[in-house]
Amino acid sequence: MGTIVTYLTYLLERFVFNVDKADFVQYPFFMKPEDLDIHLDEIQQSAVTRLIQKLEDGRYKKNKNNCLCGNNDNCMDKLVSCIDMHGIPLDVLLCRKCGLLRAAEIFDVASNENYYRFEYRDIHNSGGRSASSYFNDQLERGESFLKIARENRIIDEVATVLEIGCGSGGILYPFHLAGKKVAGFDYDENYVGYGRGKGMALHCMGKDPSVKAEPYDLLILSHVMEHFLDPRSELLQLIEQVKPGKYVIIEVPGVFAEVPAKVLYGYPVRYFQVAHVVQFFYRDFLNLFYASLGLEILYGDENATFLLRKPHDWTPPAVVADYSSKLSGYRSLVDRHLRECYSDYRYRPDLYKLKNMGIRLLELIGLKRVVKGFLKKRGLL
In the complex, the smallest distance separating the C-beta of residue 338 from Zn ion, rounded to whole angstroms, is 15
Site for Zn ion in 16-75 (CB under 5 A): 67, 69, 71
Indicate the residue among 173 and 285 with the shorter CB distance to Zn ion.
285
Secondary-structure percent of the chain, ordered helix, strand, coil, rounded to 5: 45, 20, 35
Number of other CB atoms surrounding residue 124 within 10 Å: 14
- CA–CA–CA angle 127, 52, 123 (5° rounding): 20
Query: Cβ distance 334 to 255 under 8 Å?
Result: yes
Question: What's the distance, CA 348 to chain centroid?
Answer: 23
Indicate the residue among 77 and 122 with the shorter CB distance to Zn ion.
77
Indicate the residue among 43 and 229 with the shorter CB distance to Zn ion.
229
Site for Zn ion in 227-246 (CB under 5 A): none
Dihedrals φ, ψ of 244, to 5°? Answer: -55, 135
In the complex, the smallest distance separating the C-beta of residue 263 from Zn ion, rounded to whole angstroms, is 28
Q: Could you write out the DSSP letters of every residue in 291-360?
A: HHTTPEEEEE-TT-EEEEE--TT----SSPP--GGGGTTHHHHHHHHHHHHHHHHHHS--HHHHHHHHHH
277-to-32, 104, 274, 317 alpha-carbon distances in Å: 20, 9, 8, 22
Indicate the residue among 320 and 364 with the shorter CB distance to Zn ion.
320
The site that binds Zn ion (CB under 5 A) totals a number of residues, namely 7
Indicate the residue among 86 and 97 with the shorter CB distance to Zn ion.
97
Helix 2-11 × helix 351-364 angle, to 10°: 110
In the complex, the smallest distance separating the C-beta of residue 283 from Zn ion, rounded to whole angstroms, is 15
At position 47, the amino acid (one-letter code) is A
Query: Cβ distance 218 to 162 under 8 Å?
Result: yes
> How many residues belong to the chain?
381
Number of helices (H), then strands (E), belonging to the chain: the values are 13, 13
Indicate the residue among 96 and 339 with the shorter CB distance to Zn ion.
96
Site for Zn ion in 174-203 (CB under 5 A): none
Query: Cβ distance 136 to 173 under 8 Å?
Result: no
Site for Zn ion in 359-378 (CB under 5 A): none
In the complex, the smallest distance separating the C-beta of residue 278 from Zn ion, rounded to whole angstroms, is 9
In the complex, the smallest distance separating the C-beta of residue 297 from Zn ion, rounded to whole angstroms, is 20
In the complex, the smallest distance separating the C-beta of residue 250 from Zn ion, rounded to whole angstroms, is 19
In the complex, the smallest distance separating the C-beta of residue 89 from Zn ion, rounded to whole angstroms, is 22
Largest CA distance in the chain: 76
Collapsing DSSP to helix, strand or coil, 95 comes out as coil
User: Which neighbouring-strand residues pair with 291?
Assistant: none
**By rule CB under 5 A, what string of x and - marks binding of each residue 70-109 to Zn ion?**
-x-----------------------x-xx-x---------
In the complex, the smallest distance separating the C-beta of residue 286 from Zn ion, rounded to whole angstroms, is 13
Indicate the residue among 205 and 288 with the shorter CB distance to Zn ion.
288
Indicate the residue among 53 and 325 with the shorter CB distance to Zn ion.
325
Site for Zn ion in 104-133 (CB under 5 A): none
Q: Is 138 in the site for Zn ion (CB under 5 A)?
A: no
- The site for Zn ion (CB under 5 A) is made up of 67, 69, 71, 95, 97-98, 100
